[in-house]
Amino acid sequence: MTSTVAIIGAGVIGAGWAARFLLNGWDVRVFDPDPSARDRVEKVLAAARLSLPGLGEVALPPEGRLSFPRLISEAVRGAGWVQESVPERIELKHKIIQAVQSCIEEGAILASSTSGFTATELQSNSSRPDQILVAHPFNPVYLLPLVEVVASDRTDPDLRDRAVMTLTDLGMAPLQVRAEVPAHIADRLLEAVWREALWLVKDGVATTGEIDDAIRMGFGLRWAQMGLFETYRIAGGDGGMAHFLHQFGPALKWPWSKLTDVPEMDDTLVATIAAQSDEQAGGRTIADLERQRDHNLVGLIRALGAQGWGAGAIQQAADERRMSGAGVPARFEDITDPATPVVTLHRAVPLDWIDYNGHMTEDRYLHAFGDASDRLMKLIGCDLDYVAAGKSFFTVESHIRHLKEVTAGAPLRIETRVIAAGGKKMHVWHEMKSGDRLLATAEHMLLHVDLETRRSAPLTPLLAERLATLVDAQAELDPPEGLSRAIGDPI
């Protein structure tokens, strides 16, 4: 059953929420009286469609339906989740909350994207404070997983738990804030760094570009994968955090910081920062910078995913939850019809798979076909435990035909047939498709190997039985076009 969300306010954050929900299969209703709201949402959606589907290793569900009701009542009626993302003015938020609660479903979640107000402040004068909480995301909402969830003692605990489960299903990392404080957790930390940065510019110590380099070339890279405390634990060496605190703790009393003081944001400082920022941008537009930001974030999160770490681990968990919905069997028993090719991969082309010609680079075709072979191996029983026990498959011959090009964000599906198997061999045929288009084929010969001797070995009974099931069931299919083709044969 499709879920419905109402987005109230279509600024950068509201549009980002719309993209996150829509691309995860929710029907999305956006209410914003600004005539430019629709264009703003469509612009963010275009960026999200290019980056989010390729962030993980499993295809997202089919998109939900997007609509732009002209009244708040039309937007929220029947919606299971309402996300308020209007400007940070408490009187405006109270007005919106009152309008929403006059027609919202009783069990629906009413979440605010506020970066500063507490749940208690939002609930003031509310008719149903129990359904209100904070769900504060980070830009771009469609890529960054963190969302701060803040409830008050008047928020229904069951509603809060449902909110956390929903956000997790959206591929996000809900951080439940233990106590209500203005600006929650992340923005308080950002504010401290921001104050120091403003003073460094005002005092002529550094330019905006130099400060950003200090972050992105140094500790920012460490923070992206370990955060603050774990980074400093390592800095303490074998003595860990206790040693670090004893060694560097006294420095906190030195007059380094201006955290309790804020520079006057006069015309001179504003002009200085704006001019330095313009120079730093080097003529790149906001759209250029947003596009580069998304490319960088996708690459970083995917790199962390390969290590099962940080934001990448969150994406891996989301991939596992989406696997069955994408039609990729997780176990051999999940193969409903062995007489048809088995779907062994269903994903989108990520941004970092694109070459200088603007389409998927050669090595990524092999990458995708290799992932499909790994999935088949897992299905027949050659999983990580099997490999750890000392046996696996080695590919001894491959032949890939590149038939049509494929670009970033395109859906990919690989269907796999076992042409023959027995003794020590497995002969596999893959077809890569995007919709009805056949993009490429791959033919592989694999040998079953004893990892201790590094020599070929007979298939184990379980593998032999499962492979025979697939070979026998698929024997009635027509031979695939291009099977056993050699380079130089007519295409």
Binding residues for NAD(+): 9-14
Numbers of helices and strands, H then E, in the chain = 17, 14
Select from 364, 392, 367 the least CA-distant residue to 378.
392
Whole-number Å distance between alpha carbons of 176 and 164: 8
> Residues at the annotated binding site?
9-14
Three-state SS for 178? coil
Three-state SS for 136? strand
Output the six-digit token pair for 150: 């803040």
Three-state SS for 22? helix
Whole-number Å distance between alpha carbons of 58 and 346: 6
In order of 8, 135, 474, 480, the CA distances from 79 in angstroms are 12, 17, 46, 47
Cis peptide before 140 (omega within 30 of 0): yes
Output the six-digit token pair for 272: 């200085």
Output the six-digit token pair for 188: 């308080």
Select from 363, 370, 321 the least CA-distant residue to 345.
370
Q: Supply the DSSP symbol for 217.
A: I
Whole-number Å distance between alpha carbons of 144 and 138: 6
Longest dimension (CA), the chain: 80
Torsion sign, CA atoms 452, 453, 458, 459: positive
Phi/psi-derived region of residue 467, left when phi > 0, alpha when psi is between -120 and 50, beta in every other case? alpha
Whole-number Å distance between alpha carbons of 95 and 89: 10
Three-state SS for 260? coil
